[in-house]
Structure 1
Amino acid sequence: MDIGKLILDGPILLNIKENGVATITINRPEVFNALNEETADAFNVALEEIEKRDDIKVIVWTGKGEALSGGGDIRMLKSLDKVSEARRIFERAYIQNKRFYDLPVPVIVAANGVIAGVATGRSLAADIIIASEKAKFAANFINIGLLPDGGTSYFLFKKLGHHRTAEILYNGKMLNAAECLELGIFNQVVSHADLYPTVYAMADKLAEGPSVALKYAKQILRSCANNDFAAIASMEAGGQVQCWSTHDFHEGVSAFLEKRKAKFKGC
């Protein structure tokens, strides 16, 4: 499958298609795409490349091999010998997941296998998770004597409430794909062979859409957790005014009236 031109190589791959779909791939399949410092550095470089461009419309995040990511590299964590080093590593995980959460365009996770540790928070920071039937979700920090990090507690609590989140986190429970779908952690579960065709069909469709409206929609959704009805309704009204002034609104209305497919330009 063509996922576009290779922009970055190494432990993190970044590919960008001409239609504005960017793919970030963790490329450490031999260790289930565990996240060490080199990988974190490379992930930041990929984010910097995406953030500086104005042609990125959708982002796909996935992993090479049998895992999206097994989480933080356990050997790296065990090798730390100072509290200051541990603090830097764990704070960096939070900062990077927050940066991922703040990306202004739609982000789709292609969950090709295990999602564990800090990768659980990062996947939940995305907008949509489409999973292979082989995918598993393991917020299992407690099994090695650690707490959930990277926002995992926040996202699971918002999605599942206290009691279900407590059951998962306190027991270090690994959820299979069907359980994640039932709980609403995954949006879709498809056969392993259909994962990437399904993901890129959605990504390509979104890339063809009215990108200004999509960005406002994401911005407002991100604001829903910490605002009341009046504040959100006001944001929606302001966003509507901005979208009304775009080419895409007028094209969309014309296409609707003329019973044809709209040709959006993202402006």
Structure 2
Amino acid sequence: MNSGGDKIKFRDFVHEKWEYIQVIIIFFVVVSLMASIFTVDSTSKFIGIFTPLMVGGMTAWVAWNQFQLSKEQKEISKQQADIAKKNKKIAKNKLKLELFEKRYLAFEDFVEYFSSCHDLDLDISHYINLSPEESENYVSMHDRRAFIDPIYQRTLNEIKEIKSRNDESKIKLQVTLTRIIFLFNDNIHQILLKFSKDIHQYGNEVYELLLEELENFKDAAMGNSALITTDVTKFIEKRHSLGRRLHDEILKSMEPFLKIPK
């Protein structure tokens, strides 16, 4: 039933031990030739001399193969050690790169928050943004309240969006600040904590300014008072001050941590 499998096993065995089988065959062939050429006594003497030589030769041959095998195994072990060393270095560099990416993303959160507040326009007309038709009707309007109320409400909603985005950014930065301690150090955490508070305060101050400017626009449009323009010099100075802090204090403090790993 299993004759096919037995044949395959026998064939594999012969293939694996073929070198040994060849030596044995040669040995018996030589002995047979000697027996046919010489007398039995001569053959016996020859066998007595030749047999130890054959055994020694086979032993040496086996030892040589073992030596070669050992040499190959050492080479394989060396290659495996080199591969393990390279893998360890790759893993270490990967961790460094991941840490750099996390640090950069945290820093980027603060830059984006600063930019969002820094780029706020301080001119209320930017938010009122009268259409050409509204600009044309502004002077000749008959029902001032009906004309102004939609513009006022539209602008008020846009200004409230500034407040909403400012508060959302503050919450987002609070999450980032918890990571800053682990990604950088306590000193940078304190610097960024104060910076984020100052940015949020500036955003709220701009929000209050725009609300005041919008009320001035409404009063002037309704004919209740002349249009009053608020001096925004202190806002511009504070904006520039925050920008200098970002560049001179924060960026320089974080620079050693933001170097791309080699």
Q: Larger relative CO (CA 8 A, sep 6+): 1 or 2?
A: 2
Q: Please report the TM-score for the alignment, with normalisation by the length of structure 2.
A: 0.26
Give the structure with the larger helix fraction. Answer: 2
